[in-house]
Structure 1
C-alpha cells in the first residue's frame, strides 16, 4: 500500500515559538503513531521549517509582501492578484495529500490585530479546498474566540464548518465556535498541544536567598477591536511591566526576560534600557524547549504570551499570567492557578507585585498542584491522539489509509 501523505498548514516558521511548538508536537505524534507518513508543509516560513524539522515546505502565499501594508498601486495589485493565485495554489497543494492537519495555534480567533484577507482567507481556502477535493482537513487543538468584525467572523465560521475534524485547546474555544453557528456536538476539548512536548529534567533549586524570576514580555498593543487605542495600551503595558521588573531588581532578584515571537525584541530592549541593571538579562530562546529550560530554572514566572505560560506551567514553576485574552485565564484555571491572573491592558505594578509575593509564599503547594495537573494533561492528550488516529487514520493490516471527508 502507498504511504499516507500528510500536509501541515499554518503560520509556521515565521518566528512565533508557540506556533512552531504546536507543529513539533504533531510531528512527534506522527513519528510515534504513523512512522510511515510522508509529511510536508504549506506555511509562512518554509525555509525555517525545512531547516528545523527536515520536511519539505512551500510558501503559504504567492505574493511575498502579503503581511506588509500595501500603499503603492503595484503592491495593492500584487496583493489582489495573489488572492486569486492562492486559490489555485492551495487547491493543488491540498489535492496532493490524503489528510491535512492544522496543528494548534489560535487560527479561529482575533485576539491580536488581524485582517480578514490575510490568514483567515488562507484558512478558508484550505478548508474549502479540502471539501472540494475530498481531502479531510483537521483543525487539531486550535484556539477560538468571539470575533466582532463581520468579514473575519464569516471566514472563520465557514473554515470551521468545512473542516472534517475539529478539536480545541479549551472549552471557551468550543463555546465561541458554537456561538458562531458551528455544530460542535462531536468536537472535543483537550489541553494545548504543547503539553505533549517533552519537559526538561527539573533542576535542583538551590537553598538560600530567593532565586531568579522569568518575566515573559510581548509586543502587546491590544486586540483586533483596540486599534484606535493601540499605542496607549502598549505604553501602559510597557510602563507597568518595566516598573514591576525594577521593583524585583530593587529586591535583589535576578530577572530573565523571555519572548515568544521575533517582534517582542523591541520590548526587551526598552526594559533593558529603562532598568539598566546587571541583574536583568534577556534569554535567546529559539524553541519551546528553550523556554521550558529557562522557566524550569526560575523560582517563579510572570508572563504574557500564551505559550510562555504553557511552558512555565508544563515544567511546574509557579506562574502569574499577564492576561491579554480569555484563553490565558482559561489555561490558568485549568492548571489550578486561576487567582494568579493580572490584566495586560491595565498593568498595575504595585498590585502585580502583591500577587507575585503571594504566589511565592504558596510556591511548594502550587508546585504539587501543577504536578497533578500535568499528569492529567498527559492522559488527556494521549486520548486526543488516539481519537485523531481513529478519525483520520483508520487502522488496516498494513499502512494506515485516511478516511475521506464526507
Structure 2
C-alpha cells in the first residue's frame, strides 16, 4: 500500500518532525505499512529519507514566481501522486494563510490528488489564522474534496465550520503524542530544573511582518518572569533549548541577556532532534514553552508545562487539555512579571497531584491521536452499514443550539466510523402556517430519501417519537429497516397528550420500534405507566456530556476572559428562555438571595422561544440590578461561563433529563435544580441540590446553602465530577451503537 504524506517536513522544525514520526509510527502499527512504502513530500528529501527510512521527494520546486513554482511542482509530482493508494495531508498548523504559500501549496496537492484519482485525507491539521477570501476558498475546497477531515483541536473544527466547510470534521489528538516516551530519565537533583523555549515573535528571522517593539516587549517579559521565578526559588536553574534551530536559540540568548539572574541559566546549543528534545524535557521538573510542540514533547515525558501563547493554537491546545490557567497571552507577558511564579506556586501546592494531572493529559491525548488512524481504516472499508438519523430539532444558521444534543451525538457516531445520514427540521420558528410548511417539507424530503436511498440503511434512529418516529416507522414497514427511537421527554408528557390521534400513533410507534431509548429513569417510568409496551426493549441512555468541551478550568482565568469581577458571586442559567424553565421562580429567588449577599449577579443564557414571555422577562430583569440576559452561544463559550460561575441553577417545571446540569458538573460547578423529571435522578445522592418546583423560597434557600457553606460546595463539586465522568458521552455512545445491531465490520471504535 503506497501512502504519500504532505506537510511542513524537512524544515528543521522539530515540532513538525515529531508529527511526522508520530504518523509513521501510526501507519506501521495500525495499517502495517512498511516505511519503504511511504513517500514523504519534504523540504529536504535526502535528509528526510535518511532520517526516517522512507522514500522522499521535494515538496515544491522553487521557480521565478509562485505560479511557475506551483506549475513546475505539479508537473514533476503528478506521476508520483497518481501511483499512491492514499495521500495524507497533515499534520501540523498547515490550514492557514498567514505566510502566504500554505493555502496554495496544500490546496494544489489536494486538487492534484483529486485529478489523479487518489483519495485524500486531512490528518490532524491545525487551522488558522485564515485571513483572506482566497485562502478561505482554497482551504474550504480542500476540505470538501477530502474523503476524511480530522483536526487536532475543537477550535480548528469550529474555524473550518465558520468558513463554510460542510464535511464531517473529526477532532483527534496531535500525532506527535505518538512519539515514544524516553526509556530512562537522567534527572539533575540539584534544585528545580526549568526548561524554557522561545520563538522569534515578530522578528524578521521568522515572522512575516517585523515589529521590533513587540519582539522587545516579548523578550523583556520573558526575562522579567524568569527572574521573578528564580528569585522565589534560589536553587532553581533555567535551561534554554530550541525546537527550531538556530532561530529559537538566538531569541533565547536575547532573553538571557536581559535577565538579572542570567548566571543561573544554561543554553543547550546543540541542534536536537525531536526524540532528543523529548529526552531533554524529561530531565526537567517544569517546561515553560512558547512553541506548541515544546509543550507536547514535554507532556509526552509527563512533565508539567506553562505556556506562552504566541499563536492561538497554543491557547487552543491548553484550553482543550483543561490547563488554560497555566497559559499567558504573549502580549500580556511584560505586564505581568509574576505569572510564571504564580503558576508554579499553584502547581506546587500539591505537586504529586500536578504530576498525576499532566500524566493523565498525556495519556488522554495519545488515546485521541490513536483515533485518527482508526477513522482512516473505517473510512475506506467497503462494507460499512449506513445509519439514518431523523430529528425534529437540529442546529442551523437560524439557531446554533436548536437540537444541538442531536448533532453532537451524530458527530460522535461518525467519529466512531459509522456512515450517518441526517434528515431533520432545522427551523426553530413557530406559527401554524410555518409548522405546516416545515413539517410538510420534512415529510416530502423523507419520502424522496426513502425512495432513492432507503435500501442502503441498516437502521433508522428517530429522535422524538412523534412525528419523526412516524417517518421511521415507514422505513421499517416498507423496507424492513431496524427502528430505534429516542424519547427526550416532551414527546411523552406533552406531545402524546395533544390528541387521541397523536397518542394512538405514539403507542403504535413504541410498539413497533425494535429498541426504545429514554434519557432518564423517570421518563422510563412515565412511558411504562402511559403505554402497554415491552419494558425489555427500553434502555435508559442519556445523551452524555462532552468532556472535551465541558471540563475543569481555572475560575479566575475564565472570569478574566468574560470580564467578570473576581469577587462577585455569579449565578448561572443556560437553556431556553421560556416559562416552563421556571425563570420567574429564579428571578424571585434571586431577589431573596440578593438580600443576603450584596455581591451577587444572575446571568441567563439562551434563546427566546416565546416573544411575549421574553418581553416580560426582560422587563423583570430591568427592574433588578445584577440580572443579565445573553443570547445563545457556542458550547465552548458556555463552558467558559460554567467555569466562571459559582452556582448553576435549573429551576425547570418539566425536564426530561437535564443534560445541561451534567455539563455544569463537568466544569466543577455545583448545581441547584428542581425535583422534577430527570433532575430528580440526576441530582440524587448529593450530586446536586434539589429544590421544590414552583417554590422560589426553597430555591433561594438551596442557592444560599451552596454559596455560604464551603463544605457543601466541595461535596457537590466532587460528586458532580464523578457523575459527569460516569455519563461521559464517549462511554454512553457504545451502548447506543449496540442497539443498532450492526455487524462488527459495520462499526468499529
Partner of 2:401: none
Structure 2 distance, partners of 1:157, 1:232, is 35
Partner of 2:526: none
Q: Does the Cα contact within 8 Å between 2:197 and 2:248 map onto a contact in 1?
A: no
Kindly indicate whether residue 23 of structure 2 is the aligned counterpart of residue 40 of structure 1: no
CA 1:245/1:59 → structure 2, altered by over 3 Å: closer, same or farther?
A: same
Question: After the TM superposition, which residues 188-337 of structure 1 pair with which residues of structure 2 at under 5 Å, given as runs?
Answer: 188-201=170-183, 203=185, 210-221=191-202, 230-250=211-231, 251-262=234-245, 263-275=247-259, 276-277=262-263, 279-282=265-268, 284=270, 286-337=272-323
The Cα offsets for residues 132-176 of structure 1, whole Å up to 9 and x where unpaired, read as 111011111111125222232222222222222210111111111
> What is the SS of the residue equivalent to 1:85?
helix
Q: Does the Cα contact within 8 Å between 2:154 and 2:320 map onto a contact in 1?
A: no
The farther-off stretch of 279-288 and 263-272 is: 279-288
Q: Give unmatched runs, 5+ long, in structure 1.
A: 65-76, 396-406
Q: Give unmatched runs, 5+ long, in structure 2.
A: 384-749
Kindly indicate whether residue 112 of structure 2 is the aligned counterpart of residue 129 of structure 1: yes
Aligned length: 372
Question: After the TM superposition, which residues 85-100 of structure 1 pair with which residues of structure 2 at under 5 Å, given as runs?
Answer: 85-100=72-87
CA 1:247/1:217 → structure 2, altered by over 3 Å: closer, same or farther?
A: same
CA 1:228/1:372 → structure 2, altered by over 3 Å: closer, same or farther?
A: closer
Q: Which of residues 375, 390, 394 in structure 1 aligns to 2:363?
A: 375
Question: After the TM superposition, which residues 12-31 of structure 1 pair with which residues of structure 2 at under 5 Å, given as runs?
Answer: 12-31=9-28
Partner of 1:119: 102
CA 1:119/1:379 → structure 2, altered by over 3 Å: closer, same or farther?
A: closer
Q: Does the Cα contact within 8 Å between 1:255 and 1:280 map onto a contact in 2?
A: yes
Kindly indicate whether residue 125 of structure 2 is the aligned counterpart of residue 142 of structure 1: yes
Q: Does the Cα contact within 8 Å between 1:138 and 1:164 map onto a contact in 2?
A: yes
Q: Does the Cα contact within 8 Å between 1:336 and 1:369 map onto a contact in 2?
A: no
Kindly indicate whether residue 87 of structure 2 is the aligned counterpart of residue 104 of structure 1: no
Structure 2 distance, partners of 1:25, 1:356, is 30
Q: Does the Cα contact within 8 Å between 1:13 and 1:45 map onto a contact in 2?
A: yes
> What is the SS of the residue equivalent to 1:13?
coil
Alignment RMSD (CA, Å): 2.6
Q: Which of residues 354, 358, 364 in structure 1 aligns to 2:342?
A: 354
Partner of 1:401: none
Partner of 1:49: 48
Structure 1 distance, partners of 2:71, 2:154, is 36
Q: Does the Cα contact within 8 Å between 1:218 and 1:260 map onto a contact in 2?
A: no
Partner of 1:151: 134
Kindly indicate whether residue 7 of structure 2 is the aligned counterpart of residue 10 of structure 1: yes
Partner of 2:711: none
- Report deviation, 1:249: 4.6
Q: Higher Cα Rg: structure 1 or 2? A: 2
After TM superposition, the score normalised by the length of structure 1 is 0.83
Structure 2 distance, partners of 1:108, 1:136, is 19
CA 1:394/1:19 → structure 2, altered by over 3 Å: closer, same or farther?
A: farther
After TM superposition, the score normalised by the length of structure 2 is 0.47
Q: Which of residues 361, 366, 379 in structure 1 aligns to 2:354?
A: 366
Which structure has more relative contact order (CA 8 Å, sep 6+)? It is: 1
Partner of 2:157: 174
Q: Does the Cα contact within 8 Å between 2:126 and 2:151 map onto a contact in 1?
A: yes
Structure 1 distance, partners of 2:256, 2:376, is 45
Structure 1 distance, partners of 2:208, 2:6, is 28
- Report deviation, 1:230: 2.8
Q: Does the Cα contact within 8 Å between 2:194 and 2:287 map onto a contact in 1?
A: yes
Q: Does the Cα contact within 8 Å between 2:281 and 2:298 map onto a contact in 1?
A: yes
- Report deviation, 1:215: 0.8
- Report deviation, 1:309: 1.0
Q: Does the Cα contact within 8 Å between 1:318 and 1:363 map onto a contact in 2?
A: no
CA 1:146/1:334 → structure 2, altered by over 3 Å: closer, same or farther?
A: same
- Report deviation, 1:313: 2.0
